[in-house]
Amino acid sequence: MLRFENLCKRYGEHTLFQGLRYSVDAGCIALNDESGSGKSTLLGILAGEIEPDAGEAWLDGHSLRTAPLAARSALAYVPEDCLASSLQTGRAFLEAVAAQRNTALDKRTLELADRFGLTPHLEKRFEQMSFGTRKKICLTAATLGRVAVVIADEPSGGLDAAARAVLVDLFKELGRDRVVFFTSYDAALTSACEAQAISFADLAARG
């Protein structure tokens, strides 16, 4: 469901990474590497937010280069900051994501929001939310519709212990039949999610 080949990103004369390749059909994958290695940039490329200097990525069989709309329709992306329109409420954001994915804000999603402790915050605007609350809203949105790939940048950032437990259950459930590809410095989270831990060295060494 997620595949990329020969990905390269440069900034001026600095090569952040090159020759990255990977392929996985389902499961949780945790990209653990040092700060500044390019983890967020790689996730941005896989989410179609950043253009690579070389290489190609496929989501659910659709190329981000030649079929970007189809590829993005198979994706749920949770960026690190999760800052939507500052005046948009949490509920409006979830409803907008649901509409984009041709589904509705259903009972299952609202129950997940409640498990995250979001029910009192759904009518707040993003500018009124804490970092952790915004993160939980975006994680909840990732379950809307039927996406094949979930990409999350530091998904546990800003979460308390109770919310981390909900996140672990969510990722384990999603990873049963789709790809959950996330970055994390947290070895305990990686282990709890039963995720495969990889580094840039692993991605460059493949193939």
Looking at residue 34, its pLDDT comes to 76
Looking at residue 35, its pLDDT comes to: 76
pLDDT of residue 84: 72
Tokens (6 digits) for 103: 């589904």
What whole-number distance in Å separates Cα of residue 134 and Cα of residue 180?
19
Q: Percentage of residues in the chain with pLDDT exceeding 90?
A: 88
120-135 mean pLDDT: 94
Domain 2-205 in CATH 3.40.50.300: yes
Whole-number pLDDT of residue 186: 87
pLDDT of 55 higher than 50:
yes
Average pLDDT over residues 56-66: 96
Here the tokens at position 130 are: 């804490």
Neighbours of 65 (CB within 10 A): 14
Q: Hey, where are the domains in the chain?
A: 2-205
Residue 206 banded pLDDT, cuts 50, 70, 90: low
pLDDT for 86-116, tens place per residue? 789 999 999 999 999 999 999 999 999 999 9
Q: What is the pLDDT of residues 67-88, one digit of tens each?
A: 999 999 999 999 998 877 778 9
The pLDDT, as a whole number, for residue 207 is: 43
Q: pLDDT category, 205, cuts 50, 70, 90?
A: low
pLDDT value at residue 144 = 95
For residue range 129-187, list pLDDT tens digits in order.
999 999 999 999 999 998 999 999 999 999 999 999 999 999 999 999 999 999 988 88
Show the DSSP H helices in 47-185 as ranges: 68-73, 90-100, 107-115, 131-141, 161-174
Ramachandran sector of residue 198 (left: φ over 0; alpha: ψ -120 to 50; beta: rest): beta
**CA–CA dist 152, 163 (Å, integer):** 15
